[in-house]
């Protein structure tokens, strides 16, 4: 049984996350959620691995132009698909993954349609997705959040970095553990919007190598900020 201290810590962290959400909402407004067909969300998220949104979108647009439907894509050669996916980088690997993913979906649901996944329980659906090569924790959570509308919290590299800097996660925690921790902490009602807002903040302000600390919304909370480390002048 969890001790009162553990409950106090969880309550404190959830309150902190709500305040972070409210500050981001105040500055960026209510975000548009990238919702869509679960299979499209899955393929787009696979393409987004180790690249930026622009390159992902270029590759996905080429894919949609070249292959009129998912069946045509599945029947294409790996080489043909790999050439199509060049803008996204790691194109040979992603081509192999995507063909394997489509084969597993057809085996599971009898057709190239992932909407049946949304009828499964969240834990069952997550376990099934994670059993497919090329699908990790972030990709699986994105499908559940934005393809199925579940209140789950995907963690990408922007979110991992920001949560470490704000003291929400230990400095050396990896993405796998971050999902486990934050899934217990992030209030369900703000999970999807907070995901989008934190990514926007990570892209605009809390960057990996050159964060714009002068524009920081959380200078008192951030362990990276000069003020928190006593480097700021009086």
A 10 A CB-CB count for 219 gives 14
A 10 A CB-CB count for 5 gives 8
CB of 112 closer than 8 Å to CB of 105: yes
140-143: long-range pairs with CB below 8 Å, 24+: 141/179, 142/41, 142/42, 142/45, 143/38, 143/41, 143/42, 143/45, 143/114, 143/117
Residue 63: closest CA among 47, 41, 42, 45: 47
> Which one is catalytic: 108, 138, 172, 204?
138
Angle at 36 between CA 33 and CA 39, to 5 degrees: 135
Q: Is 106 labeled as catalytic in the residue annotation?
A: no
Catalytic residue positions, numbered: 138
């Amino acid at each position: 049984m969890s001790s009162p201290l553990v409950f106090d810590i969880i309550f404190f962290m959830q309150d902190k996350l709500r305040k972070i959400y409210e500050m981001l909402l105040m500055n960026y407004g209510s975000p548009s959620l990238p919702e869509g067909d679960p299979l499209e969300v899955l393929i787009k998220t696979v393409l987004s691995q180790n690249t930026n949104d622009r390159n992902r979108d270029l590759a996905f647009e080429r894919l949609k132009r070249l292959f009129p439907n998912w069946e045509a894509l599945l029947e294409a050669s790996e080489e043909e698909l790999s050439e199509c996916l060049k803008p996204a980088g790691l194109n040979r690997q992603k081509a192999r993954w995507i063909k394997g993913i489509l084969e597993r979906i057809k085996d599971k649901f009898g057709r190239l349609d992932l909407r049946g996944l949304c009828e499964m329980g969240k834990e069952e659906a997550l376990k099934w997705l994670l059993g497919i090569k090329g699908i990790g924790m972030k990709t699986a959570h994105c499908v559940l959040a934005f393809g199925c509308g579940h209140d789950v919290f995907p963690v990408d590299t922007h979110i991992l970095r920001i949560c470490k800097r704000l003291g929400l996660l230990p400095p050396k925690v990896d993405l796998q553990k971050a999902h486990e921790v934050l899934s217990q902490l992030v209030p369900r009602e703000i999970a999807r919007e907070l995901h989008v807002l934190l990514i926007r903040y990570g892209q605009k302000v809390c960057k990996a190598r050159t964060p714009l600390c002068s524009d920081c919304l959380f200078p008192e909370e951030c362990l990276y900020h000069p003020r928190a480390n006593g480097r700021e002048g009086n």
